[in-house]
């Protein structure tokens, strides 16, 4: 199934595939459980009565044999699976959810093209370090052999500049653009990104950094 989805993404023109490696089981989402009890709508009206019905409503599974699929996530995912996927993906392969230097080294050895330092905003791992704290050791571990991206909790341009100063090549934006989309559609997303750009530019001006290359680790204070 994973290989079939990879082929479909590549056929659609995607130059990269991102594998999430740290969300292999469902979390104990207490707020969701409480809200479900107050929601009288029937999920099966939209999603079907079975898990396979749910998948059948998602276009990326069109034409695939779903008879053997019981869940979307692999609870036994390991580096053997990652290596097999690396051999299958023709384009770039990124790993999302790396938070330690040990895993960063293993990703380098596996021929991964980039790492996304992520804890999904705490949705799956709310008892660990912030990604900004894990970033420096991961950048050091890969030694420039691959780009290191980061997400989780980036809400301001000043957050973006801090991550760039600590070695991140790019910052991924999750919830802010979803909030903009929910409120105002495409124009909301564009406005969120515009705010982040303007704040980033202003922070760089305050620091005296005329370009991204001028942002250095010395610009970030450590407690």
Tokens 């995912």: give the residue.
Answer: 77
Query: Tokens standing for 13?
Result: 């023109």
Tokens 């001006």: give the residue.
Answer: 205
User: Burial, 51: exposed, middle or buried (Cβ in 10 Å; 0-12, 13-18, 19+)?
Assistant: middle
First to last CA, the chain: 47
- Torsion (CA) 154, 122, 137, 78 in degrees, nearest 10: -130
Query: Tokens standing for 100?
Result: 């330690």
- Output helix, strand, coil percentages for the chain, rounded to the nearest 5: 50, 10, 40
Distance of CA 26 to the CA centre of its chain: 16
Tokens 């990879």: give the residue.
Answer: 6
**Considering only CA atoms, which of 187, 103, 182, 112 is closest in space to residue 147?**
112
State whether residue 164 is helix, strand or coil. Answer: helix
- Catalytic choice (120, 201, 213, 222): 120
Query: Do residues 177 and 195 lie in contact, with contact meaning Cβ atoms separated by under 8 Å?
Result: no
Bridge-based pairing of strands 16-20 and 114-117 is unpaired
State whether residue 112 is helix, strand or coil. Answer: coil
- Establish whether 120 is a catalytic residue: yes
Q: Which residues are catalytic?
A: 120
């Amino acid at each position: 199934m994973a290989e079939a989805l990879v082929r479909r993404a590549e056929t659609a023109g995607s130059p990269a595939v991102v594998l999430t490696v740290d969300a292999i089981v469902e979390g104990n989402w207490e707020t969701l459980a409480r809200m479900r009890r107050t929601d009288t709508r029937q999920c099966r009206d939209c999603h079907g009565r079975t898990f396979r019905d749910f998948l059948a409503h998602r276009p990326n599974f069109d034409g695939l044999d779903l008879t053997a699929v019981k869940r979307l996530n692999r609870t036994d995912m390991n580096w053997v699976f990652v290596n097999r996927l690396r051999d299958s993906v023709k384009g770039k392969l990124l790993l999302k959810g790396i938070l330690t230097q040990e895993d960063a080294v293993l990703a380098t050895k596996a021929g991964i093209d980039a790492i996304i330092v992520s804890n999904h905003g705490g949705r799956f791992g709310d008892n660990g370090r912030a990604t900004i704290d894990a970033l420096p050791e991961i950048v050091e571990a890969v030694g420039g052999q691959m780009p290191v991206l980061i997400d989780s909790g980036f809400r301001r341009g000043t957050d973006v500049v801090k991550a760039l100063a600590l070695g991140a090549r790019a910052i991924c934006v999750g919830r802010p653009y979803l909030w903009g989309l929910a409120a105002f559609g495409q124009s909301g997303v564009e406005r969120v990104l515009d705010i982040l750009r303007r704040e980033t530019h202003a922070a760089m001006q305050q620091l005296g950094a005329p370009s991204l290359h001028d942002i250095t680790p010395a610009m970030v204070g450590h407690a």
